[in-house]
Amino acid sequence: MLSPSTPLLAAKALSELIGEIYQAGLDGQWLRVLDKVIEYTHSNKACLFLHKLSEPSPQVLEFRSLVDFPQEAYLEYQKRAHEDPLLETVGYMLEGDCMDLTANINLQAFENTDFYRDFYLRFQTRYSVASLLIRDMEYESLLAINRGPNSPNYNESEIALMSLLTPHFSRALKIYKDLTLHKRYAAISKSILDQTDKGLIVCDTLGRTILTNDVATRELQSSSDIFISSNLLTMSPSAYHLKLHQSIRACTQLAFTNLPQESIVLERPDGETLLITISPLNWHSDFVDMGQPCCLITLSKQNAINWPMVAKEYGLTAMETRVIQAINRKKKLTDLTTEMAVTYNTLATHMKAIYRKMRIHSQAELMATISLFRN
């Protein structure tokens, strides 16, 4: 019997699983990964979706089940999904969160509802763990696993494994949506060059540029804080340069760690913000012809937000303003408990107050509302 501190997977098996996650980010073969997630977490179902909010159908919707249930039951569930208390819990999650959903509801009371009898029993679902992989103004992505009523709840080791896999699924899906824009991915270099809304750079382990699109080229030629020097990607001041190259080495060598996506935020004197993200790029593939370990660097320009105006418009307290500023910087509530020296429940209470004052119901709406106050 595993204790909560016992690792579920040997290092080799874990490394192979993480490698398959990133490979799926390139070839779109997510089902084989879900099969392993079901096996390693002793689940009876796993679901992964990536949805561009402006489109009617998900870009990725993969579902694996060891349970047979009528198709009409699933269609009926979709009509009544708003009654599912677990989905309400998901609504309060932030990008990067991994949560035991069942622990956040009154399970005993839920089991006495018609909804539970109509669907959860038929689907053989009682316990659920979910990871929110992406939640921004454009996309939403979730990974969820289930167990039935005859199984025990997920233990700490199993939830820890899901938490460990969460940032890798998130990175892989972001690579998938940013780079694999074509039905087949043989033209990945063309994908990078054709991007016009953000700068994209492919670097090797030393930070030497292999490929840049026009947006990145213009940025590197005109900026004094990020530029090319002797064919090396360079940043100023030196602290940023050191962090950049540490992230590049980690990504190009595929040194997987339980960290969120590597990012650097440059606040410029003119109020403009440059968000720099560094992601691993699997080069062992027919779809990438770089011939060497490499990583993808994304440059996204953002204008400064008038935070005093946001606070005044919605009557936000100083603490509530700090919370949404942190969320805008891609922080998770679990990170903020230490940074702000408050409990998770206190932060959740602030989030509910923010949603009520701003008359919104999701993080996507929050980000969309904040964007209206850019100078």
149 and 223 belong to one structural domain = no
Domain at 159, CATH number: 3.30.450.80
* pLDDT for 228: 93
pLDDT per residue as tens digits for the range 304-355: 678 889 999 999 999 999 999 888 877 888 888 888 889 989 999 999 999 9
* pLDDT for 281: 67
Residue 200: inside a domain, yes or no? Answer: yes
- SS3 helix, strand, coil % of the chain, rounded to 5? 45, 20, 35
CA dihedral 159, 46, 256, 337 (to 10 degrees): -40
* pLDDT for 255: 40
- Structural domains counted in the chain: 3
Q: State if pTM tops 0.75.
A: no
Cα 325 to Cα 307: distance, rounded to the nearest angstrom = 8
292, burial (CB in 10 Å: exposed 0-12, middle 13-18, buried 19+)? exposed
Evaluate if residue 288 carries a pLDDT over 70: no
Alpha-carbon distances of 364 from 41, 84, 227, rounded to whole Å: 30, 20, 33
pLDDT per residue as tens digits for the range 95-118: 999 999 998 888 889 889 998 888
Q: Are 280 and 294 in contact (CB under 8 A)?
A: no
Range of the domain at 48: 11-179
27 and 160 belong to one structural domain = yes
Domain at 246, CATH number: 3.30.450
Mean pLDDT of 366-370: 88
* pLDDT for 183: 43
Domain closes at, from 302, 331, 360:
302
125, burial (CB in 10 Å: exposed 0-12, middle 13-18, buried 19+)? buried
Domain closes at, from 278, 302, 326:
302
Side chain identity at residue 122, one-letter code: R
